[in-house]
């Protein structure tokens, strides 16, 4: 890959809140290396889409109906995905080695930018 070329990543949002989808979609649209390939509003729908679309990056909410984001992690191979948890819970309450990054909701522009820098360095 040339110096001027950036790697591209497919990503998916799994969150039960419409405002979170809107905000994350807005941020994702600002990064040409990211392509939003799917969105789900609960973990059950999210599991099906992850299986179908096999995204590189998953923005995954912690608290959702039917199944939490952390419970959802048990259902797919996390080494195949870069997992960014999103939640209104403080980061100190969530410790999971399968998670690559954590965004506190509401997500700020600067924190999303930091997450994208980490993504570029680690994937």
Q: Give tens-digit pLDDT for 23-58.
A: 999 999 999 999 999 999 999 999 999 999 999 999
Q: Number of helices (H) and strands (E) in the chain: give both, helices first.
A: 4, 5
Closest CA to 20 of 93, 92, 103: 103
Q: Report whether pLDDT(5) > 90.
A: no
Contacts of 41 (CB under 8 A, 6+ apart): 15, 16, 18, 21
Q: Give tens-digit pLDDT for 58-114.
A: 999 999 988 989 899 888 765 789 999 998 876 555 667 788 999 998 899 999 999
- Partners of residue 67 on adjacent β-strands: none
For residue 78, the model assigns a pLDDT of: 58
User: pTM here?
Assistant: 0.90
């Amino acid at each position: 890959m040339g110096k001027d070329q950036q790697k591209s990543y497919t990503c998916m949002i799994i969150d039960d809140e419409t405002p979170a989808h809107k905000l994350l979609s807005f941020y994702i649209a600002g990064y040409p290396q990211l392509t939003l390939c799917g969105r789900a509003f609960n973990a059950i729908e999210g599991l099906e889409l992850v299986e179908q679309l096999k995204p590189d990056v998953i923005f995954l909410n912690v608290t959702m109906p039917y199944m939490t984001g952390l419970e959802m992690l048990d259902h797919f191979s996390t080494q195949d995905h870069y997992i960014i948890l999103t939640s209104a819970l403080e980061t100190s309450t969530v410790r999971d080695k399968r998670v690559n990054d954590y965004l506190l909701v509401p997500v700020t522009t600067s924190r999303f930018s930091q997450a994208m820098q980490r993504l570029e360095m680690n994937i």
